[in-house]
Structure 1
Amino acid sequence: MQLDGPATFPSASASERDRRFAMDLMQHLVVPTFVLDPAGRVLIWNKACERLTGLSAEAVVGTAEHWRAFYAEPQPTLADLVLESRFSEIHAFYRDFSKFGLNDFGAAVEDWCDLRHAGRRVYLAIDAGPIYDDGGAVIAVVETLRDITAQREAQDALATLAALDGLTGLANRRSFDQALDLESKRCARAGTPLALLMMDIDGFKLFNDSYGHGRGDECLRVVARTVGNAVRRSVDHAARYGGEEFAVILPDTDLAGARAVADRIRLAVEALRIPHRAAPVGTVVTVSIGGVSVPRPDPDGRNLLAAADAALYRAKRDGRNRAVVRPMALAGRLRPPAVPLSDCA
């Protein structure tokens, strides 16, 4: 482009008008936004940001105390980390992120946040990016916040439904398989014990034949609820393995602990006193339980599953309504037959 005469620049008053216009524009954005200067002080804390966080612009503009909107103690926000080019530390401050990315414009994360001044916990999509001058120096960092709590809760609800058995409300087979794989690998790395219980309802086919499938479904629901109630720790995982069979994963649990849980489940089911006139043993619904505990598991959980299944076969063979929980080495020798014991036996 050819210029006639020397280049001219906007007057100071024109620059000031542009600056004020930009600030007014940002103040009225519907997206919660704040801006930091190169020293980490707040230049802009827009109205949407006030509404989201419950912290007024008056309380933070001109200060570096914007952290108070998000944390109980001083901690860098994403904008601070971008401003100071501390990208490698983002993971340390956003441990629960479900999305993380770096791009030419800065960084993006999603995370839960306790907005103390607003009195609520929200799931935020957070983006922070630098603004450069003509020389390439950072003159500000802009952070935007989007409340996507509803979307996250909907996703979590769908994930929960996908992980549950529709009849009993326990975890389903897919969820069990994932949990067993995860816990096997975790306990193998940590060198901590892992126990697994497998159980099924004694003579359940005979129960269905005698009382009908409606009563059979109700029996499954009641037994499942009893199994779930007997598993008391949040880290334990009770699941419907298939048909009338249930499974319980017990992380960090030794042989004595596994036996205690197995006995608790067996006695609790028997105490329900659900009539079973065709029961292979007794006159009420009972369960047979096979279990195994290993001090340091193989990362491949299938070996643990095979050993627990062999112990379950032993419990059935020995008369049902009993729990056989063995160390891994012993349980592994109790191979089930090619044809499982019949409910009619």
Structure 2
Amino acid sequence: MNAMMREAKYHTFAVQLMEHLVVPTFVLDAAGRVIIWNRACERMTGVPASAVLGTRRHWTGFYQQQRRCLADLVLEGASARVAEFYEIDRSLDCQTGALSAENWCVFPTGRGRRYLAIDAGPIYADDGTLIAVVETLRDITAQKEAQSALELLASLDGLTGIANRRAFDVRFESEWELAARSGQPLSLLMIDIDHFKIYNDHLGHQCGDDCLKRIAQIIVGETRGDVDIVARYGGEEFAVVLPHAGLDGALSVAHRILEATDRAAIPHHEASSQDRVTISIGAASRNSEMTSPADLIAAADASLYAAKQRGRNLIVAQRSVAA
């Protein structure tokens, strides 16, 4: 009897301890029903314990539509499915049955959008029987947003604010692979400011920087902001990746950029043939003869070189010229 009383006492203490943990925590029994929904979990989700205790509706604290929480995947022994439901799987040793993940969560109760670090682990009886699963949650939104801000800064050109060469390489590779799988067209524009060295040497680096920023703004303004990728490729050269666009579409964009640059009328008194800043554009589209992203870049580069050789302020599309 004393042993039973001690066991009951320890059980009560364990439940009370978990209830008062500062870490949001809930516990499911072996059937997936909520047996503990602590006060920190109530504060985080806005869902009172009375609304979920004894039910399998723990998901309502975190999601608009029914879906598995990490604790459910532990109960099901479904460690292989973590990536199906969570942005990042941080599970280190699935042999123990414990899982760890990270995910954005929009609380249905209006508590906003938060990024959570989540851990879930099994509790076994002395005979090895699974009796419960504990899930704990940490709000790491501030850390995630800081990380995202740093990643964004690392991908942008410090002068113009558009994508830098590193970001271009990564995203262009991704678009190439997508186009190769889907059979969708993919085009590339290479754009160079004509006589930029003369401009920079005569007017100074500050004016040169201003010119680069103006041209970057013009290119961005004539492209699809939510689809196309505009990058500073190097020096006074820019690149525009045009997913789902064939050569005709690429030429249409190139003409708009050329015309917008002409309308901007950026003075260039030292140019050999124009009194304003002009650009040359090389255009190319992916075709069956190309086997890698480098092939498309080489084709667009060759077109750009041809535009320079033919007098500048031109668009050259592979083997054809458009004024």
The reply to whether TM is greater than 0.5 is yes
2:53 pairs, out of 61, 64, 72, with 61
1:217 pairs, out of 177, 197, 209, with 209
- 1:47 equivalenced with 2:39 (yes/no): yes
Partner of 1:175: 167
Q: Is the alpha carbon distance of 1:65 and 1:11 closer, same or farther for their aligned partners in structure 2, counting shifts above 3 Å?
A: same
Residue range with higher mean Cα deviation, 60-69 or 9-18 = 9-18
C-alpha offsets along residues 53-85 of structure 1, whole Å, 9 cap, x if unaligned? 111111111111111111112111110111121
- 1:85 equivalenced with 2:69 (yes/no): no
Partner of 1:201: 193
Size of the alignment, in residue pairs?
320
- How far 1:102 sits from its partner (Å)? 4.3
Distance 1:138 1:297 in 2: 59
- Code of the residue aligned with 1:58 in structure 2: it is S
- 1:97 equivalenced with 2:98 (yes/no): no
- Code of the residue aligned with 2:247 in structure 1: it is L
1:284 pairs, out of 268, 276, 281, with 276
Q: Helix, strand or coil: the match of 1:72? A: coil
- Code of the residue aligned with 1:132 in structure 2: it is Y
Partner of 1:157: 149
Q: Helix, strand or coil: the match of 1:271? A: helix
Contact in 2 for aligned 1:195/1:291 (Cα 8 Å): yes
- Code of the residue aligned with 1:123 in structure 2: it is Y
Contact in 2 for aligned 1:193/1:297 (Cα 8 Å): no
Contact in 2 for aligned 1:40/1:83 (Cα 8 Å): yes
Q: Helix, strand or coil: the match of 1:11? A: helix
Distance 2:291 2:111 in 1: 43
- How far 1:282 sits from its partner (Å)? 2.4
- Code of the residue aligned with 1:311 in structure 2: it is S
- How far 1:165 sits from its partner (Å)? 1.0
Q: Which runs of 4+ in 1 moved over 4 A?
A: 295-299
Q: Is the alpha carbon distance of 1:253 and 1:100 closer, same or farther for their aligned partners in structure 2, counting shifts above 3 Å?
A: farther
Partner of 1:321: 313
- How far 1:296 sits from its partner (Å)? 5.6
1:310 pairs, out of 293, 299, 302, with 302
Partner of 1:239: 231
Distance 2:183 2:71 in 1: 40
Distance 2:260 2:199 in 1: 19
Q: Helix, strand or coil: the match of 1:112? A: strand
Contact in 1 for aligned 2:120/2:133 (Cα 8 Å): yes
Partner of 1:148: 140
Distance 2:32 2:289 in 1: 49
Residue range with higher mean Cα deviation, 35-44 or 105-114 = 105-114
- Structure 2 spans left out of the alignment, 5+ residues: none
- Code of the residue aligned with 1:97 in structure 2: it is I
- How far 1:299 sits from its partner (Å)? 5.4
Contact in 2 for aligned 1:202/1:280 (Cα 8 Å): no
- Code of the residue aligned with 2:240 in structure 1: it is V
Distance 1:286 1:37 in 2: 71
- How far 1:295 sits from its partner (Å)? 4.5
Partner of 1:26: 18
- 1:75 equivalenced with 2:67 (yes/no): yes
Q: Helix, strand or coil: the match of 1:62? A: coil
| Percent identity of equivalent pairs | 51
Distance 1:177 1:73 in 2: 38
Contact in 2 for aligned 1:191/1:296 (Cα 8 Å): no
Q: Is the alpha carbon distance of 1:168 and 1:281 closer, same or farther for their aligned partners in structure 2, counting shifts above 3 Å?
A: same
Distance 1:271 1:162 in 2: 32
Distance 2:285 2:2 in 1: 78
Distance 1:69 1:230 in 2: 44
Partner of 1:337: none
Residue range with higher mean Cα deviation, 126-135 or 207-216 = 207-216
- How far 1:193 sits from its partner (Å)? 1.4
- How far 1:325 sits from its partner (Å)? 2.1
Q: Is the alpha carbon distance of 1:72 and 1:250 closer, same or farther for their aligned partners in structure 2, counting shifts above 3 Å?
A: same
- How far 1:144 sits from its partner (Å)? 0.7
Contact in 2 for aligned 1:289/1:312 (Cα 8 Å): yes
